């Protein structure tokens, strides 16, 4: 037989493991976000270099393209540390050239609207139950007191 505190110890170790996994995932996500920001900055620098193209800029352009490729390789390696899924709808927004924040905003509005609708249904059912119980007590006092007061 195990001591009574072993369940608490197991629960605590599971909690610590979950916290450690979450912290690891958060660190991996932050690292990936930093790499994406670096890649965007490098793309911006490449764009400026190409727009102001002069023969002396060839080496600078090559260095920036190399930095971009290394960054993509690092992202490809780091992706295995992430456990993230992106809804297909968000990917469709991005493919259509729309801002994914727009999807989030519309989703939150939809959820709030559905929440209000559901709360209205709950209130209506609660009112119906109250009225129904009142009528039962009025027309069937003996039977309703047995069943409703449990």
The span from the CA of 31 to the CA of 94, in Å, is 22
pLDDT of res. 10 = 59
Over the chain, what is the mean pLDDT?
84
**Residue with the two structure tokens 């670096």:** 38
| Chain segment 55-79, per-residue pLDDT in tens | 667 888 899 999 999 999 999 988 8
For residues 83 and 25, the answer to whether their CB atoms sit within 8 Å is: yes
pLDDT of res. 39 = 93
pLDDT of res. 60 = 87
For residues 42 and 62, the answer to whether their CB atoms sit within 8 Å is: no
| Chain segment 95-139, per-residue pLDDT in tens | 999 998 999 999 999 999 999 999 999 999 999 999 999 999 899
């Amino acid at each position: 037989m195990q001591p009574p505190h072993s369940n608490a110890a197991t629960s605590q170790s599971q909690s610590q493991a979950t916290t450690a996994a979450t912290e690891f995932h958060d660190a991996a996500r932050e690292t990936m976000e930093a790499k994406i920001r670096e890649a965007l900055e490098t793309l911006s620098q490449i764009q400026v270099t190409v727009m102001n193209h002069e023969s002396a800029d060839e080496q600078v352009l090559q260095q920036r393209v190399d930095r971009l490729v290394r960054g993509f390789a690092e992202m490809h390696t780091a992706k295995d540390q992430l456990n993230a899924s992106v809804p297909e709808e968000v990917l469709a927004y991005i493919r259509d050239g729309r801002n994914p924040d727009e999807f989030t905003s519309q989703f939150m509005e939809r959820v709030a609207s559905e929440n209000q609708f559901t709360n209205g249904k709950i209130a209506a059912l609660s009112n119906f139950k109250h009225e129904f119980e009142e009528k039962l007590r009025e027309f069937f006092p003996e039977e309703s007191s047995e069943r409703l007061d449990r």
